């Protein structure tokens, strides 16, 4: 019963193989049978672990979300100052999206975008404890708009990734945190 450390459970194998399938074929051509094949199990076997193909995809989304949360936890551990933590969280989100291109579409397309949203909300409260909550929330939305938009532009390849552009994004985020 206990998961041996070396080998992943079939459920985990399906999620990992499903991510690869998502990378290689996109969500419009996601084949559960192909995923099963690549795990060397029969086409019906996945149904012992997931109710449906959609349920597997949902599990993949959750897995991705947890990965992003892990990363953002690390950022929070390193940066104590709430403002720099906020900026670095956004940058980490952007880098995460670039490193995992299929993730962003997935995160954005179905209300799975919470990890960054929650952190921005909390950090904004720490940054501006006395600010009018409406104003504070609005600023949070602008910050997230910048992060989401930049991630989109960078991941789509329309905007080329560079240290310079990351610096520019940082500047714009910081500007929202001033005054």
Partner DNA sequence: TTATTCGGTTAACACTGTTAACCATTTTAT
Partner DNA sequence: ATAAAATGGTTAACAGTGTTAACCGAATAA
Chain residues binding DNA by CB under 7 A are 1, 10, 30-34, 40-45, 47-49, 51-54
> How does DSSP classify residue 42?
-
Q: Closest CB to a second copy among 8 and 117?
A: 117
Residue 36 near residue 57 (C-beta atoms within 8 A): no
The closest of 157, 162, 155, 71 to 119, measured between CA atoms, is: 71
- One of 25, 33, 51, 168 touching a second copy (CB under 8 A): 168
81 to each of 78, 87, 130, how far by Cα in Å?
9, 10, 17
- Tell me which stretch binds a second copy (CB under 8 A): 12-20, 33-41, 73-81, 151-159: 151-159
Question: Shortest approach of DNA to residue 162 CB, angstroms?
Answer: 37
- One of 35, 113, 120, 123 touching a second copy (CB under 8 A): 113
Q: How far apart are CA 115 and CA 90, in angstroms?
A: 11
Residue 129 near residue 69 (C-beta atoms within 8 A): no
Lookup: tokens for 142: 């602008």
Question: Shortest approach of DNA to residue 31 CB, angstroms?
Answer: 4
Q: Closest CB to DNA among 42 and 110?
A: 42
**In the block, residue with structure tokens 């349920």:** 55
> How does DSSP classify residue 39?
T
Does 27 sit near a second copy (CB under 8 A)? yes
E strands, 41-85, are none
- Tell me which stretch binds a second copy (CB under 8 A): 59-67, 79-87, 122-130, 143-151: 143-151
Does 111 sit near a second copy (CB under 8 A)? yes
Residues forming the site for a second copy (CB under 8 A): 27-28, 30, 105, 108-109, 111, 113, 117, 138, 141-142, 144-150, 152-153, 156-159, 165, 168-169, 172
């Amino acid at each position: 019963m206990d998961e041996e450390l070396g080998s992943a459970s079939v459920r985990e194998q399906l999620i990992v193989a499903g991510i690869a399938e998502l990378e290689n074929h996109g969500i419009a051509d996601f084949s559960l049978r192909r995923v099963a094949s690549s795990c060397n199990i029969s086409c019906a076997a996945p149904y012992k672990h997931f109710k449906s193909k959609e349920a597997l995809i949902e599990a993949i989304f959750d897995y991705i979300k947890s990965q992003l949360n892990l990363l953002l936890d690390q950022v929070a551990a390193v940066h104590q100052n709430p403002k720099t933590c906020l900026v670095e969280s956004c940058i980490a989100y952007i880098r995460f999206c670039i490193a995992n291109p299929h993730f962003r579409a997935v995160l954005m397309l179905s209300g799975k975008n919470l990890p960054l949203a929650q952190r921005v909300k909390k950090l904004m409260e720490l940054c501006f404890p006395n600010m009018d909550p409406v104003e504070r929330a609005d600023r949070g939305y602008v910050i997230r708009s910048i992060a989401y938009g930049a991630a989109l532009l960078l991941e789509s390849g329309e905007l080329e990734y560079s240290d310079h552009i990351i610096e520019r994004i940082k500047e714009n985020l910081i500007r929202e945190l001033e005054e």
